[in-house]
Amino acid sequence: MAPSKVLAGARVVLPTGTVDDGRVIVDGTRIVDTAPPQAQVVDLPGHWVVPGFVDIHNHGGGGASFAGGTAEDVLKGVETHRRHGTTTVVASAVTGDLDFLARHAGMLAELAQQDDIVGIHFEGPFISPCRKGAHDEQLLRDPDPAEVRKLVDAAHGHAKMMTLATELPGGLDSVRLLVEHGVIAAVGHTDATYEQTVRAIDAGATVATHLFNAMPPVGHRAPGPITALLEDERITVELINDGTHLHPAALQLAFHHAGASRVAFITDAMDAAGFGDGRYLLGPLEVEVADGVARLVEGGSIAGSTLTLDRAFKRAVTVDRLPVGDVVAAISANPARLLGLDDRVGSLEPGKDADLVVLDDAFDLVGVMRRGEWVVDPQLG
């Protein structure tokens, strides 16, 4: 087991606020409140210590896919995102053939069982052809509760979330079925009206999948899903803060409306995240990544991001000028609570897993600890 450590002299972001010259004490895999004898002191003056990041919507990284890869590929992607601060990740599938998705979910469930990922997000196939984004139109289907159930069952208790176009036939029954099975129902890739979205929320939907992206815009006589999702306290809105998916003012609008406690920063990353430009597959579709922007080869739709959450963090503080505490809420605490994992992760408190990120004074990542072990050691930087 790793020796106990005292991270000292940093600005530490706690649920109660930021402590200058704070300490985080790690014993074994956990955060504790008193330093054991012979603990190693790691001095981090001028640095920030924040909770490890929690990504609820991520399709891959490091050249490897969560949506179509082998178990080995998934682990490679998980490791890549870990090096960028994401210590908790939900693996997102994309639209595919139902039998393929069920088999793939079985493989991902084994990785969840081993705690490499914390669960599975099914994005598609039950989404709207009008708002399909980078999903294969041939494979889209209306949300039939029996088919939804087939995927949930295939995940052996590790299905965490499903994105649905809830206005389609079977949509509301599918939302209810998901909620009954403890799976988050997320509204997304949707062409719903305001009223249809309200009905989905009343049926139990609690997440807006990448708010603004792949849904109708706000109109003054047709306020649409965005308005319904922003105004309802029961909804957490996902935002992709990569500077490509959202105008900075749209991000501000979401923060103002929903408040910092209802925003979850996600990457929606695909394989090129933490890797580089080139040709990739997203599910069955070909994607070209140029200058860090992923687009379908056919049609040019944006096809996920190449974002890592450390970049989303830095951007939120330095470009969007959000308070660090709000960014920590959106990138760690809120998604942890949404997943029901806030007893273990999402904040720096005694008893919780020692999952944390060290940032320098320019908000660049210099250290990552997961379960008490350095993934990126700030002393080697």
CB of 297 to Zn ion, least distance (A): 18
Question: Residue 210 or residue 337: which is nearer to Zn ion going by CB?
Answer: 210
Question: Residue 246 or residue 328: which is nearer to Zn ion going by CB?
Answer: 246
CB of 266 to Zn ion, least distance (A): 8
Tokens 């003012």 locate to 249
CB of 353 to Zn ion, least distance (A): 26
Residue 27 in contact with residue 4, Cβ under 8 Å?
Answer: yes
Q: Is there a catalytic annotation at residue 271?
A: no
Question: Residue 11 or residue 121: which is nearer to Zn ion going by CB?
Answer: 121
Question: Residue 123 or residue 353: which is nearer to Zn ion going by CB?
Answer: 123
CB of 15 to Zn ion, least distance (A): 29
Q: Which of 55, 191, 242, 268 is catalytic?
A: 268
Number of neighbours of residue 164 by Cβ within 10 angstroms: 31
Length of the chain: 381
Tell me which residue has its CB nearest to Zn ion.
268
Binding site for Zn ion (CB under 5 A): 123, 268
CB of 296 to Zn ion, least distance (A): 13
Question: Residue 123 or residue 232: which is nearer to Zn ion going by CB?
Answer: 123
Report the catalytic residues. 268
